[in-house]
Amino acid sequence: MAQTEKKGGLLRKSSASKKPLKEKVVLMYDEIFTTEDPSKCNPRFWEELFLMKVNLEYLEGKLEALDGEELMKIKDNINCLFQHCIQALGEEHPIRVVNALQVPH
């Protein structure tokens, strides 16, 4: 039976024949770091994102890896992320509130 190890947003199978799997929240973060609006294909993108446990290590790594030019290309998505964090703080769902509080760190 293969063991699963969680590290940096990847779920790795100990079997060499299988590709590493990414957590769903990490896949969603990757969508934020593209130039397209992530909610374009999934209108519930932001609602779903804040229901998942934050992977702060991965998110911080992605932000720190950006240079100024790359950041300018995705600034609308980054602004959207923080706007939706603020909106989630006003919700009654405690999981969304806690997760929204963790993102801006």
- pTM across the whole model: 0.77
Task: Say if 16 falls within a structural domain.
Answer: no
CB of 32 closer than 8 Å to CB of 81:
yes
Task: Say if 2 falls within a structural domain.
Answer: no
**How many domains does one find in the chain?**
1
Task: Say if 5 falls within a structural domain.
Answer: no
Q: pLDDT per residue over 56-68, tens digit each?
A: 999 999 999 999 9
Task: Say if 4 falls within a structural domain.
Answer: no
Q: pLDDT per residue over 27-77, tens digit each?
A: 999 999 998 999 999 999 999 999 999 999 999 999 999 999 999 999 999
CB of 29 closer than 8 Å to CB of 58:
yes
Task: Say if 54 falls within a structural domain.
Answer: yes
End-to-end CA distance of the chain: 38
Domain span at residue 84 reads 24-101
